[in-house]
Each structure stands twice: as C-alpha cells, then as structure tokens.
C-alpha cells in the first residue's frame, strides 16, 4: 500500500478538481445594472492619476512642444496668439528660481569633474580661456557658469564701441523708427522696451525724437545672444556715463534665436534691466534681458538690483544713478546661464557696424569700422 503522504501528493494529478482549488484567488468584480444594461467598473489607469500626469504627461508634452517649435522655425511657421498665450502661462519664473537654487548648491568634489565635463561637451565650452582650468575649483554649477577669463584672453579693440560680451549677433544696424527688428521680420516697440523717458529733460511728442540729443543723428542697435556655453560676464562697450536704471519685472521666456523669430515683442515682454546714459555721440543704453533659467542678473555697480523676485510680473522699479563713469572693457555684470544684451545708442547716420546677423563676436571685438570712428 502507498503511504498517505504519497497519495496526497498524487491527488492533484489524479483528480482535476484539486487543481482548481490550488489556483490563486481572483478578486470579485462588482457589476451593476443600469437600465437593463450591465456596466463593469474599469480599474483606474496608471496613466490617469495625478502623479502620472506630472511625471509622464508633462515631460512628454514639453518634449513634443519643443520639437514642434523647431519644426515651425525651420518652415517659417507663424505662431498664433493662442499658442503664445499658452506658452506664456507656463511658470517659468518659478522653475527659474528652482533651477537657480539647484545650480547654487555645492557639489561634492568627486562629482565636479564629471558634471562640469559633461556640460563642457554638451555646450562646447572653451575651458582654456578660463582663469581656473581645474574643474574641482568650482564649487557649484552657478560658479562654473560665471567663471572669469584669464588675463589677456580678450583683446580690447581701440575702436570707440566694442562688443560687451561673447555671443551671436541676432541683429544690428540703424533703428530709424519706433518699431525695431529683434530678428529679421519680427519687431518690438522701442517705447515699451525702454519705458517712459524720464531721464531726458527735453520733451517731444515723438518718443523716438525725444531720445536724440542731435536731430541729425539716428539710433542704432546691436542684439547679442549669449549661448549656455559662452562666457557669461559682460563688460562696458565704450566710455559712457550711466545716469538712470529701470528694472522691468516681466516674464522669463526663452530668448533662443529660433523662438525670437516666433514671438513678436519678446524683448519687451521679458524681465530686463535697462541702463541709460550718454556717450560721445549722445544717448546710450545697455540692457540685460533675462530668460528661462536666467532669473539672476547681477550688476556690479548696482547692488540694489534684485531680479526674478516673488510678486507681480508687471512691476517696474526706477533709480537715479547719478553720474556713474564706465570705461570701455570694464566689467559691468553677469548672467547665470545664457541670455541677451541689447545696445541702443545715438550715432551719426553714416555709422557702420563691422559685422552682420549671425556673426560670432567676443568681448572687446570692434562693433564698428574703427578707422572711420577714430577719424572723428
């Protein structure tokens, strides 16, 4: 005879009924009858809860939107007002403050070479120009972004007006109307960009004319975009006197060149610090424009300036600087990440820029034809 243990081990094979009892338990699905038709309760989809929307749908939607923007820029697609409105609703000021705090965190010494080395490869950073080439010297990403240059890394041209920063020229040339081109075919308002003329005692119904000291002159502009891999400090482009500062607490939209082609008035929308004064030909202004992840604009001679602070976006603060003398090539300020510098200044009609849109420029490089300028 077989022992009882051997019989029990064979029972599931002998009798199929025992096999059914050993199957795992299936939960009972409740059914309800509504108007004679049965409806089954559907289990909650893992893609539809709040956590999934934040961690999956938002990054996926952002990636699709950025890709679509690149496609539109390549086919000269005209962005609609509705799309601009939705883009502006994104909380870039909040994300920029968060990014600023993360970038300012001190990194462990063991991770610095890897983190900064990855950044150098991604954005083609020329570390040989930096004053400190040892990556372990920089305690945080923010400190690495604003790295100083070694002595003699930039040559300051004898021309009267030089490039204030490293970057790519988005647009340059005469600005003879109140509507100024930010890129080819896309404009912004001069009055909205600079604000009310409070620094000039001369009154004129025409805003453009109120800026000019000499009616025979015209305004000229130069827009330079600083990419993430560029040197992030900017310098005084000429010998001039700053007398007035106006800070617009606007939005922090991206100022990438392809996006500047899509959004008219982008520079008059974004947060910016406008410095106004005079140079040898009359009116002169230098504006540092903020952008996404560039919530902090620091000006060395203006420690009271605070950018990307909490509060309403349409706040405007003004201050009389007195007579701040700035020399050509002198350090003026710095960005945390890349952004844009805009020069608007008065000069004779025959003033010619020695560059064109799309050209790469460096700090101290001549903006105009030096021979003609020095002859004046």
In 3D space, the residue among 373, 363, 194 whose CA is nearest the CA of residue 285 turns out to be 194
Q: Token pair for residue 191? A: 């009055």
- 235 carries an active-site annotation: yes
Alpha carbon distance 234, 273 (integer Å): 13
- 247 carries an active-site annotation: no
* Cα dist from 66 to 63, 71, 95, 299, whole Å: 5, 9, 17, 32
Of the residues 235, 236, 296, 354, only one is catalytic, namely 235
Q: Token pair for residue 196? A: 């009310």
Q: Where are the alpha helices (DSSP H) in the chain?
A: 4-14, 16-21, 50-52, 58-74, 81-89, 92-103, 109-123, 141-145, 190-194, 207-211, 257-260, 266-269, 370-375
* Cα dist from 258 to 1, 73, 146, 261, whole Å: 88, 6, 25, 5
**Contact indicator for 353, 343 with CB cutoff of 8 Å:** no
Q: Token pair for residue 25? A: 């338990």
Name the CA radius of gyration of the chain, rounded: 30
Of the residues 96, 142, 157, 166, only one is catalytic, namely 166
Catalytic positions: 166, 235, 339
């Amino acid at each position: 005879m077989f022992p009882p243990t051997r019989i029990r081990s064979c029972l599931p094979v002998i009798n199929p009924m025992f096999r059914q009892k050993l199957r795992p338990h299936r939960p009972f699905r409740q059914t309800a009858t509504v108007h004679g038709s049965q409806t089954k309760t559907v289990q909650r989809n893992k893609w539809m809860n709040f956590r999934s929307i934040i961690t999956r749908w938002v990054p996926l939607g952002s990636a699709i939107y950025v890709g679509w923007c690149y496609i539109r820029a390549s086919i000269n697609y005209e962005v609609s007002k509705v799309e601009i409105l939705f883009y502006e609703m994104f909380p870039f000021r909040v994300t920029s403050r968060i990014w600023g705090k993360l970038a300012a965190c001190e990194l462990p010494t063991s991770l610095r070479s890897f983190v900064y080395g990855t950044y150098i490869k991604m954005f083609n950073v020329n570390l040989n120009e930096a004053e400190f080439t040892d990556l372990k010297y920089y305690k945080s990403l923010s400190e690495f972004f604003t790295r100083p240059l070694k002595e003699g890394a930039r040559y300051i041209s004898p021309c009267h007006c030089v490039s204030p920063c490293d970057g790519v020229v988005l647009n340059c040339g005469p600005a003879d109307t109140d509507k100024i081109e930010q890129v080819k075919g896309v404009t912004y308002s001069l009055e909205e960009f600079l604000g009310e003329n409070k620094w000039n005692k001369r009154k004129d119904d025409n805003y453009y004319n109120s800026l000019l000291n000499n009616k025979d002159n015209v305004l000229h502009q130069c827009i330079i975009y600083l990419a993430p891999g560029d040197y992030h400090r900017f310098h005084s482009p000429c010998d001039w006197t700053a007398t007035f500062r106006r800070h617009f607490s606007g939005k922090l939209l991206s100022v990438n060149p392809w996006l500047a082609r899509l959004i008219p008035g982008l520079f008059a929308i974004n947060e910016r610090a406008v410095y106004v004064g005079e140079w040898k030909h009359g009116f002169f202004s230098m504006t540092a424009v903020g952008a996404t992840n560039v919530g902090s604009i620091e000006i060395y001679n203006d420690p009271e300036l605070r950018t990307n602070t909490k509060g309403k976006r349409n706040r405007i603060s003004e201050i009389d600087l007195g007579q701040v003398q700035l020399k050509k090539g002198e350090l003026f300020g710095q960005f945390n990440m890349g952004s844009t510098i805009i020069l608007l200044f008065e000069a004779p009609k025959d003033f010619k820029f020695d560059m064109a849109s799309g050209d790469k420029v460096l700090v101290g490089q001549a903006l105009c034809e030096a021979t003609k300028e020095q002859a004046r």
